[in-house]
Amino acid sequence: MAFNNLADRLQMSLRRVTGRGRLTENDITEMMKEIRLSLLEADVNYKVVKEFTAEIKDKALNQKILSGLNPGQQVVKVVHEELKELMGVEVPLVFDSQLTTFMLVGLQGAGKTTHVGKLAKYLRDKEGKKPLLVACDIYRPAAIEQLKTLGNQLNIEVFEMGQEKPLKIAKEALKYAKDNSFDLVIIDTAGRLHIDDEMMNELVEIKKLCNPTEVLLTVDAMTGQDAVNVAQSFHEKLSVTGCILTKLDGDTRGGAALSIRKVTGVPIKFSGTGEKLDEIEVFHGDRMASRILGMGDVVTLVEKVTENIDEDEAMGLVEKMMSAKFNYNDMLKQFKMMKRMGSMGKILGMMPGMNKLKGVTENVDDSKFKQMEVIIGSMTKEERKNPELLDRSSRRRSRIAKGSGATPADVNRLRQALDAQKQMAKRMGGNPANLNQNMNMQSLMQQPARKSRGKGRNKRRW
């Protein structure tokens, strides 16, 4: 997550006051110094930092203690509420009753063309729209080809007229969309390496012609405060309706996300969370605030589970596990269900308290899932169906290791994962309602298999 360093610093500051029965003004002042420094290091706008910390200090000193909360917990609540206010509430996209037009604008390198494709896929899959992508970036080399490639990958039509003037392309695209029953047009406009009058004038003309319901600015989250300056410049000329914050999964400090809405008044509507074309999410400021403070994001986690995992299929696996008949075929199904939810590191990061387990969310290696799938694929049908065949034969394990390009230790690790799930089910007493949902393979996937060391004695070596 983009806010990892900021989250660590803020949580450390808050832990120093959490649990205290009494807080002095000096305690609050010291905490505010640490929070201020944390935000500045995250490249948050200075004025935003000043107002944010002043507001927290004022409320922390003057707020009445709520029933059931100690003073330290109350301070955490104040910080959480202010962080939610800073990042803003969800602002939905605006659609026209017949043909909706969106313009995506931004500087080169911010991921504008890629997010034209991402947004189109999201709205087609989630909202049932029929989008048409329009190639109006005639200046950047290969921009049109890039959009056409994205369109082919997504099976979404792209309207292009080569090097014709962007205004003419936009005009013809709208006519084509009406004639061919499209209900959404997304225009990929030209960007520059820096803001200039020629680019802005062209965008203004396209906006006048198309009258879009949304002018969405793509902003690179890795640019920090510069992203705020870019947003201000575009907003002054185009009255931007929302931002798409790209590269939020990268090694960025998060200053843009915490500054843009406060400084410009422009809401963040979407965030790009990875390189894949389905890695785009509606931006929820309240959920992001909870994740920054280590409270998890259970709502988003539940949404991902609901979208990607069939309830009947999941319950069938649970029941089979409880009956001790869980085998490698079932484990393969389980891997595929988990992969549909996305990166395990991201999923674990949404669980409350997981941030305190240092290294867990960062070190989960998703490639281990693929390796385990290959190992299972190297087994015979009987071996997948009857795990005890592997337990009784080292020759089988060696053959499977060679066939999958793995080592016998990797095969043993897979056996341990299967055994661990069976043991867990046994401890649950055969009741699916008691199944610990946090039990998964990541702990085994991060550890090498146990090896014996020394003569006549076994030692665990992790």
Q: Which residue from 291, 348, 351 is spatially nearest to 4, judged by alpha carbons?
A: 291
Where do the H-state alpha helices sit in 108-247?
A: 112-127, 143-154, 166-179, 197-210, 225-238
Where do the H-state alpha helices sit in 166-310?
A: 166-179, 197-210, 225-238, 255-264, 285-292, 298-308
Where do the H-state alpha helices sit in 42-134?
A: 46-62, 71-87, 112-127
- DSSP state at residue 135: E
Q: Which residues contact 212 (CB under 8 A, 6 or more apart)?
A: 101, 102, 103, 187
- Going from the C-alpha of 16 to that of each of 35, 72, 428, the distances in angstroms are 12, 8, 37
pLDDT tens-digit profile, the chain (462 residues): 556 667 777 777 777 766 666 667 787 888 888 888 888 888 888 888 888 888 888 887 766 544 445 666 777 778 888 888 888 888 899 999 889 999 999 998 889 999 999 999 999 999 999 999 999 999 988 999 999 999 999 999 999 999 999 999 999 999 999 999 999 999 999 987 777 888 899 999 999 999 999 999 998 877 777 788 888 889 999 999 999 988 876 655 667 777 888 888 899 999 888 888 988 989 888 777 777 776 554 445 555 555 666 666 666 666 666 666 788 888 888 777 777 666 665 666 555 544 444 444 445 566 777 888 899 999 999 999 898 898 888 899 999 999 999 898 889 888 888 887 777 666 655 444 444 343 343 433 344 444 434 444 443 332
- Number of residues that this document lists for the chain: 462
Pairing, β 268-272 against β 280-282:
antiparallel
Helix (H) or strand (E) holding 389: helix 388-392
Compute and round to an integer the Cα radius of gyration of the chain.
26
Q: How far is the C-alpha of 311 from the C-alpha of 314, rounded, in Å?
A: 5
Question: Which domains does the chain carry?
Answer: 4-87 (1.20.120.140), 100-296 (3.40.50.300), 302-445 (1.10.260.30)
